[in-house]
Amino acid sequence: MTKKGWRLLPLLASAALLLSACSSAPQQGRVEAPQGSSLSGPIVEQRWDLLLVGTDERLNMPETPFFQIAKDGKVSGHDGCNRFTGEVKLGDNQRIEFGELATTRMACPQMADANRVTYMMETAYRYLIDHDRLVFFGPDSRVLGGWRESN
């Protein structure tokens, strides 16, 4: 594990503990956003660059994976190989749900890793923000990966 991975590990561990304490059995329902509403909060209108997959794995991609969420609920970004677009819904208790992710799907040598980035987003259930770090958790409270706010 790299030095940076070790520095993020306490954040990820405490975030996992916090989320598991808040909900012993997450509901699998969809996140419902009021019609005509706009998204707001610290996750919106920021560029988030991939930091880690899981708790400590760094990917070496042709381009750093990233995403941005607009106020209208649209998400766009890059999975390391291809650009993608889609929608996102935010709910109570840091619930997040990405949907309708579409990508150009042009082949590249790291396509398997690009698919892991997309899968992380598609399975994200909750998120936690600590300073300039964003962590995604799955429905089972498992850490899916971490992102860093781009400057």
Please indicate whether residue 149 or residue 22 has the higher confidence score (pLDDT).
149
7 — phi, psi (to 5°)?
-70, -30
pLDDT higher than threshold 80 for residue 65: yes
In sequence order, the β-bridge partners of residue 91 are: 95
Cα 124–chain centre separation: 6
Q: What confidence tens digit (pLDDT) does each residue in 98-142 have?
A: 999 998 878 888 999 999 999 999 999 999 999 999 999 999 999
80 with 113: CB under 8 angstroms?
yes
pLDDT for 4: 52
Give CA–CA dist 32/13, Å, rounded: 29
Are the C-beta atoms of 83 and 59 separated by less than 8 Å?
A: no
24 vs 64: CA distance, rounded Å: 34
| Domain positions in the chain | 3-23+38-149
CATH topology of domain 3-23+38-149: Lipocalin (2.40.128)
The closest alpha carbon to 127, from 75, 81, 82, 72, belongs to 75
**Which two structure tokens, joined as six digits, stand for 145?**
């990966």
- CA 140 → CA 19, 25, 42, 103, 124, distances in Å? 10, 8, 24, 27, 10
